[in-house]
A and B are shown apart, each in its own frame.
Chain A
Amino acid sequence: DTAVSQTPKYLVTQMGNDKSIKCEQNLGHDTMYWYKQDSKKFLKIMFSYNNKELIINETVPNRFSPKSPDKAHLNLHINSLELGDSAVYFCASSRLADNEQFFGPGTRLTVL
């Protein structure tokens, strides 16, 4: 049983396009996160949501818009994709009671 799943696993697209990455967790967790791992392998927080409410927004360009339709889902929509958006994006989730975060398998985004 997959705990945190992301689709798609790979995404190749042209500059200027708009794309979405979906994330779902079946762990019953209250908090979900998006992280970006850049070419230097540095994993950095982008957003977190708690029960559909935005908690953390780490000065990410407003081309990135997270959407949480319910507490089990946190999708990431990216407008006007740029070359620098190429990275691996990881979704994660955790309970409120502790900060052990469970990560999805990642989505490798390549912008040409």
Chain B
Amino acid sequence: DQQVKQNSPSLSVQEGRISILNCDYTNSMFDYFLWYKKYPAEGPTFLISISSIKDKNEDGRFTVFLNKSAKHLSLHIVPSQPGDSAVYFCAASLSNFGNEKLTFGTGTRLTIIP
């Protein structure tokens, strides 16, 4: 039973435009959401997170939006740069404290076209 889903396996975006990556979840007990970026042959790297008490969190070019009623979150990258080409994983946990496991989506491969 996949509780976190990323329905787009891949996405191509022109450099300088906005990239929007989507994620849906089914477990209403999830309280904390994270986005990770992964390059080939490397481990996932934390990008940005959001608590369920917020609907938006921004960090530089990255913004995460959370719609709790729809159980949906999205990551916006603007402007997109070639170095953003990677696989992006959405993850969720029951709290924002350590000791909690992260439940991951299957990832979206983002390709930025120069």
Interface residues of A, Cβ cutoff 8 Å to B: 4, 29-31, 33, 40-45, 48, 50, 55-56, 58, 90, 92, 94-106
- Check if B71 is an interface residue, CB within 8 A of chain A: no
Q: B73 at the A/B interface (Cβ < 8 Å)? A: no
Q: How far is the CA of A18 from the CA of B58 in the complex (A)?
A: 46
Are B41 and A41 within 8 A (Cβ)? Answer: no
Q: Which residues of A contact B101 (CB under 8 A)?
A: 33, 45, 48, 56, 58
The answer to whether A45 touches B43 (Cβ under 8 A) is no
Q: Choose one: B44, B49, B96, B106; the contact of A103 (CB below 8 Å).
A: B44
User: Chain B 23-56 against A: per-residue CB contact (8 Å), 1 yes, 0 no?
Assistant: 0000000001010100001111110010000000
Give CA–CA (A97, B87) in the complex, Å: 27
Whether the Cβ atoms of B89 and A43 lie closer than 8 Å is yes
Across-interface contacts of A33 in B (CB, < 8 A): 101
| Distance from A97 Cβ to chain B, minimum over Cβ atoms (Å) | 7
Contact with A along B3-32 (1 / 0, CB 8 A): 000000000000000000000000000001
Report the bound CA distance from A56 to B94 in whole Å. 13
Q: Which residues of B contact A58 (CB under 8 A)?
A: 101
- Chain B residue contacts of A40, Cβ below 8 A: 106
State whether A105 and B97 are in contact (beta carbons under 8 Å apart), knowing that A43-B89, A99-B102 are contacts in the complex: no
B residues in contact with A43, CB < 8 Å: 44, 89, 104
* B93: Cβ under 8 A from any A Cβ: yes
B33, chain A: closest CB distance, angstroms: 10
